[in-house]
Amino acid sequence: MCVQQLANSIFPTGTFFPMFCAVASCRKHEMWILWIPILLLFVQDYSLAIKITNLRVPTHAIKDQSVTLVCKYDLEGEALYSVKWYKDGWEFYRYVPRDDPPQQTFPINGITVNVHNSSNNQVALDAISLSSGGKYRCEVSAEAPSFQTEANTGEMAVVVLPETDPIITGGKPRYQVGDLVRVNCTSARSKPAAQLTWYINSEQADPTCIYQYPTIVSLAQDHLETSILGLEFRVKPKHFRRGDLKLKCLATIHTLYWKSNEESMESDRPQKAPMPESRKSGLSGTTRTDDRVQTPNNGNAVFRQLERNNVLILVGMLCCILLRSSSAPR
């Protein structure tokens, strides 16, 4: 049942209410026409709102280094009133173009603003510390009469890098097939702890061979963390197919740190036992060789002995002849 029928059933024909409903029903399109300019004004007002077009807050930054936070915006024809930066809800930098000087800083733990390198579009931070990590918000406001304000937020974490490359311990210079390899990789103190990965001959080690030790947290105020990853496996012939066995440990921290260490192990092949020789063949060969070598020497010795005997006989015979000739009567 429509509104007009409902009104006729309640009120008599010709009374005020049915007549009012009829007029309202006839003019409902006129009411929509009246709303169109209001909607257009609203859309126009929204289209002219301030927009932050580019907010750059590094996800990770290295301790003791400088960082630049960028906030670019489009005023859509409005005049700039102020740009404000906040960390965890506390304002630390303000830029108001009509002030002299236009820049103003506020002390916050872990924040050191480099005013010389800061402007309405960016703020530079020097020598950041672990306390510099947190949520950063850029807030842009237009001048009167609109005083429109737009804000955007980014989060930054501060990283402490290890002072040394990862270290491999427990390895031997040589291994044989079947030997047990048990080594550890240790990454020095950092924040957060470095992610460690083992590689065997350039291939990532099987997870079943990996042992993750608990992270060691320093008791100092910075609470730096040391990570240790173990590797244990049996040496197989395939590990020496390309020469030496190579073990590599890779340490990474997000996209800021990427260091590795590699060690090579030689194959210690067992010496082959000498082949057992046949006594018969060995002795017979030796005898024949000795015979061939010794026979000429024995013949020469006998020949020389015979020559000596013949000479002695001749000398004896000559002596006898001389003695007889000297004793014969003249």
Domain boundaries, the chain: 51-159, 167-267
What the block records as the tokens of 309 is 């005997």
**CA torsion, ordered 309, 314, 315, 321, to nearest 10 deg:** 150
What is the torsional sign of CA 236, 237, 242, 244?
A: positive
Query: Residue 327: what pLDDT?
Result: 57
Query: Residue 27: what pLDDT?
Result: 54
Radius of gyration, alpha carbons of the chain = 52
Kindly state the DSSP code that residue 329 receives in the 8-state scheme: -
Which residues have a Cβ under 8 Å from the Cβ of 274 and sit 6 or more positions away? none
Query: Residue 228: what pLDDT?
Result: 98
Query: Residue 242: what pLDDT?
Result: 78
Closest CA relative to residue 161, chosen from 143, 139, 136, 187: 187
What's the one-letter identity of residue 257?
Y
Query: Residue 175: what pLDDT?
Result: 94
Name the E strands within 143-288.
Answer: 149-159, 167-169, 174-175, 180-190, 195-200, 203-204, 210-212, 216-217, 225-234, 245-253, 257-267
Query: Residue 281: what pLDDT?
Result: 36
Give the CATH H-level superfamily of domain 167-267.
Immunoglobulins (2.60.40.10)
Q: Running along the chain, 330 residues long, what does each successive block of 10 average in pLDDT?
A: 48 49 48 50 52 96 97 92 97 96 96 96 97 97 89 97 96 94 97 97 96 95 95 94 91 96 85 47 38 44 58 66 60
What the block records as the tokens of 25 is 């029903």
Half-sphere exposure of 314 (CA within 13 A, CB side): 6
| Coil, strand or helix at 19 | helix
Note whether 134 and 87 are within 8 A (CB).
yes
CA distance 228 to 234: 21
| Coil, strand or helix at 64 | coil
Query: Residue 183: what pLDDT?
Result: 98
Note whether 140 and 150 are within 8 A (CB).
yes
CA distances for 283 relative to 273, 278, 280, angstroms: 21, 8, 5
> Which CATH fold topology does 51-159 show?
Immunoglobulin-like (2.60.40)
Note whether 109 and 158 are within 8 A (CB).
no
CA distance 21 to 12: 13
| Coil, strand or helix at 111 | strand
Instruction: Quote the pTM value.
Output: 0.63
Kindly state the DSSP code that residue 127 receives in the 8-state scheme: S
Same fold, 51-159 and 167-267: yes
Which residues have a Cβ under 8 Å from the Cβ of 18 and sit 6 or more positions away? 4, 7, 8, 11
CA distance 223 to 190: 9
CA distances for 103 relative to 69, 117, 118, 172, 186, angstroms: 15, 11, 8, 62, 47
Query: Residue 324: what pLDDT?
Result: 65
Query: Residue 316: what pLDDT?
Result: 67
